[in-house]
Structure 1
Amino acid sequence: MKKAYLLLADGTLFEGYSVGYEGQSIGEVVFNTGMAGYQEVLTDPSYYGQVVTMTYPLIGNYGINFEDYESRKSWVSGFIMREIAEHPSNWRCRLTLDEYLKEQKVVGLAGIDTRRLTRKLRGEGVMNGVIYTEGFEPDEQTVAAMKAYVVKDAVRAVTCEESRTYPAEGEQKYRIALYDYGVKYNIERELQKRGCEVVTIPALTPPEEVVGRFDGVMLSNGPGDPAENVEIIANLKRLLESNIPIFGICLGHQLLSLAIGAETCKLKYGHRGVNHPVKDLDADRTYITSQNHGYAVVGESVNPAIARVRYVNLNDGTVEGVEHVGRPVFTVQYHPEVCPGPMDTSYLFDKFIENIEKAKGGAQ
């Protein structure tokens, strides 16, 4: 069993053993608190450019199946766990986690104190690191590149190159344009279940190619700093003028908030896991949500004449969703489509459909 290491930007070194692909990889080191869902984490494009640490101590115990992928490949820059399950047990298992990491060329590290690493990231904030296998030790140039690393042009890296159409389950009632900023398959599935034909379109598709051809617009999740997507934000400003129903999730929420003049900021260590409490200020009700983001909308920057903050995080008070004033437009920072994870907020897709029905009724 080969040794493997994680070297953080501040010089801290963790020693463990190699799992998955042997090599070297640079990324932003983050942590996820979910007890399950490692397959969904690995295939979530929102983790582009990041080395993900799982806080739950045993990972891989149900293996990898061919049904629960959230995208076409793994996007993580590295994967860290306390212990890897070498003999998974699940009737759907087709690959071990180790086999999948090798197939996807993801450098893995096990056998380190993930509690110590997580406490460090919580206390000091997420930081860059290089994960490497014995024999692939970083030189001075690599360490300098690691310290200077920034996740850039992330949406352009993960979005689809051309549109894809997914038929509705049963009778088709609506046609939805889904902007792919790093979309998870389950967003498409939730819409299909509700009678929607879903056309997933590239992130930079002009709004003129959408308005008049679709009943509603979904803005997907995705990676990176939302503020760097200047062209997308400009497109969303024009899209808002059309009055078409819009539902934004995660990065889609942040981009739409920027389009209405709000600001975003980077969180100290982000929200990544399936246990985040969110309060609906209108209903005075709290939901347990799944989240994966490192940036947040600044609540004070949301102009109440344009939109209002409807959802807030009960752990740190950050904005978890906004609702446009006078338009069929709303967003959430968390993931109502998530699997595995709490299904408390899947009703938001029904709300989106209701907005579409109202808009279609008003147009008749």
Structure 2
Amino acid sequence: MIAPHRAKLEVTGSEVIGKNNAMTRILVIDNYDSFVFNLVQYLQQLGAECTVVRNDEVEASEAQKYDGVLISPGPGTPEEAGVSVAMIKYCAENSIPLFGVCLGHQAIGVAFGATVSRAPELLHGKTSLVHHDGTGVYTKVPTPFTATRYHSLAVEIGTIGKELEITGKTDTGVVMSMRHKTLPIEGVQFHPESVLTEHGHLMLANWLTECGDKGALAKLIGLAPVLGKV
């Protein structure tokens, strides 16, 4: 349950779409990061209804009330990110679609036994080319594309277990994305909501489609990136 002393923040889109003519409901776990509302605005532009809660204000079982869960970026390590790792495990046990961004991506790795350690280089607002497999959130996304990175940690490629598959890498082989082989769980190390990341709306629309929203892709026409930190 949501902690009674803190209120949930509801952020809704302006049009009704999604499953059964209702907006797709997304639970956003805020890991105390300023990027989270750029992500929420992208989801809102695509027609989703978002409930944003801090990572220490929610129990993992809250996920069952939603069509999907997004784990946001944030400071620190996955082990320090409140409910994030437990939320990923709960969603895995209950086949609830989950998408992790940056720290959320690293938390997916930890939830399935991988090790997160210092990245080869500290990146703050730097861009890289990402080469990917063209499936999941990458459906109809050209490869490679330019993505914006803000991270000093990364998932160690040699520690990723059999349950996960690497779906994207940089030119130098740094893991940029992973997906569970059988469950609707996926993460990206880069920031799709950054203005310097190409095809960010498309990636999030693809994820909303995974959550059951058949109208998200149609909302892409005319959308411009949200201007945030770059």
Please give the range of the TM-score, normalised by the shorter of the 2 chains.
0.7 to 0.9
- 2:26 equivalent to 1:170: no
Q: How does 1:127-138 map to 2 (within 5 A)?
A: none
**Quick one: distance in 1 between partners of 2:134 and 2:50?**
30
**Quick one: distance in 2 between partners of 1:271 and 1:311?**
17
C-alpha displacement of 1:262: 1.0
**Quick one: distance in 2 between partners of 1:358 and 1:282?**
20
Higher relative contact order (CA 8 A, sep 6+): 2
Q: Which residue of 2 aligns with 1:295?
A: 153
Q: Greater Rg, structure 1 or structure 2?
A: 1
- Which of 236, 252, 264 matches 2:116? 264
Q: How many pairs does the alignment contain? A: 195
Residues 113-132 of structure 1: per-residue CA shift (max 9 Å, x gap): xxxxxxxxxxxxxxxxxxxx
**Quick one: distance in 2 between partners of 1:233 and 1:201?**
15
SS in 2 for 1:317: coil
C-alpha displacement of 1:277: 1.1
**Quick one: distance in 2 between partners of 1:263 and 1:188?**
28
Q: Is the 8 A contact 2:191 2:197 kept in 1?
A: no
C-alpha displacement of 1:354: 1.4
TM-score, normalization by structure 2: 0.78
Q: Which residue of 2 aligns with 1:34?
A: none
**Quick one: distance in 1 between partners of 2:63 and 2:133?**
32
**Quick one: distance in 2 between partners of 1:245 and 1:288?**
25
- For 1:322, give the aligned amino acid: M
Q: Which residue of 2 aligns with 1:180?
A: 30
**Quick one: distance in 2 between partners of 1:188 and 1:194?**
10
- Which of 202, 206, 209 matches 1:351? 206
Q: Which runs of 4+ in 1 moved over 3 A?
A: 227-232, 281-284
Q: Which runs of 5+ in 2 are unaligned?
A: 1-5, 18-22, 136-141, 215-230
**Quick one: distance in 1 between partners of 2:213 and 2:92?**
17
Q: Is the 8 A contact 2:78 2:84 kept in 1?
A: no
SS in 2 for 1:198: strand
- 2:161 equivalent to 1:311: no
Q: Is the 8 A contact 1:263 1:301 kept in 2?
A: yes
Q: Which runs of 5+ in 1 are unaligned?
A: 1-160, 360-364
- Which of 93, 104, 117 matches 1:241? 93
Residues 272-295 of structure 1: per-residue CA shift (max 9 Å, x gap): 224211111347821111110110
Q: Which residue of 1 aligns with 2:177?
A: 321
Residues 145-191 of structure 1: per-residue CA shift (max 9 Å, x gap): xxxxxxxxxxxxxxxx5421101122252110000013421100111
